[in-house]
Chains A and B, each alone.
Chain A
């Protein structure tokens, strides 16, 4: 019996006294951040170039890379920031094509401004932007950054907060990873964005006489990075919309910032003097006409090989190998169009162009390169066909041919599958992978001209003040110059110029036309100028996020 007691007592001792090593050693993961090469030390070979059309051999390596590359998320893909701000405007829509693209009605809702807080694309945009901000905050919290690095990161973060300011207005301004802060008002967010950029420029305010010599930012035109001109270009956009954001107009500052960029920056409009190789050229003539050898002027700004375009001030680096995220080809083209460019994936037949908007272009406008219209042919020049029985044009005539028509029958439920001209501004190249090569310009000189034109006109309450800059843009497009211009005409010009560049919604709001009725959209209420904060985020925030008014 003694032994028995002894064993009973010893047993638990043995079993419970085991000191145990339960450390989790993540041998297949990085648990510390790092950057290769560049000014962070070490040697890194440039990636093997995919050829002349690929910008990857231009890639810089620095400690900012991880943060700046986050811009690829949501800037040019489906069901994220680009999609919601674009489809909410009057130029691009996604028609419900019978059983296809209904998707719970989300794209009809965005077009008609009836989306609510559970809208998925809106939620994705919010999450993506905050994820990008988190990466900037992580990088800023790291070591080895010089003043220029930190200022670039702050401008990048200010740009991301500008997206939140423009789209949701009242958001949290988080600058330290993992910490919660109270929700700020739209005016507070505006002030934060303005102050961060001014700090980076080393000035207290923008004026015609400003001196940027104390700026930690440089004037070097380093690809995919921020310099003084990119920071100022962001300021022109911010000030141009200040009245919307804060109720206080700041047009003179917008004009001054724009003038500084135009006068001091190394950028020029991509005009007839600038040509690059046309990478979409097919080997045989199509209907007796060969594809051109080169892309020139406006079309070159957005081409797959646009990385060296002189008009671009700050762009997002996309490439199919290591920088995916732009897939306009998938988003807009009909399935059969795969065979025109020999894509490595079948497109989705989604985004189409509103007829009324398309019709505002003059026949001779060079910017019609923004679109794909008419009978489509394959690589060998054989007409493409669409088996669906709903193919018809305005006259109701049916054929098996795939013809992109300006005419669109309806938004839902049965948009005909070939209706609507397609997005082709960021043009495609032969044997394109599903991720595109084209860099996406966040700021280009063309916008700075147009911002200055509008800022001057609004500051003077005189639209004729806009004429010199507007005509510069019209000349480049090969259309006749205006001798006089109205606000509506100016807005239309911006529409033609910035199609597919995610600016249209902001422009319509600034011109007070966002709530107007347009094709397949009834008039909408004023509160719609801000998107609803995603309900899932409000739910997850434990009461620290309050929904925007009206929702």
Chain B
């Protein structure tokens, strides 16, 4: 059951989006997020959404996956929609008045606007993790934040930690499974009883898991030392990120879309 968790959610491919420099992808996704918040009306938002739909079409990511990315935030989306629907009022007559609930035209509009904004926010950010492998993403973050090294911010160390975490997540999931099986075989009741009882029942799983994780960390540190690891100073890379024409084209396109949205805001 724990195997069902897919971390990183990377789907390998060779589309133009997959091929883009991951640093550009991170920056452009940020610009896209700004774009969604800058948009003040449906026209502006529509341009932003159309842009994302176009990018998705280019990435070859299936529609099913897009829906899947929205599943975890469904509750938030519904909550936002309902809240706006009920509490946003205008001067006109209510369209619906039922018991304590009154719904105005503006409520429907705001609600729709907010829902579209959240949906496209999530969908846009998911595209980044769908088309970029975690390790490349880590590289990009390390590269983007490298100016912070000047103020002694441990950029390399954080990136290294992220890599190791990604490396060990599947191993630890597998181990958790094994320990759960072993304790179940000793009669541990893991899936019955109230909340407190269940939390208590986790002890026989968590303690071995932590102890093993520390042991692993210790052994890994030795193995890394044996392979001449001395921190980020003077390190080179097997894979070097480099920007191509494609990336500059994508950047130009994104900036244009942002421009259109801003102009739209000013004009209307």
Do A and B interact? no
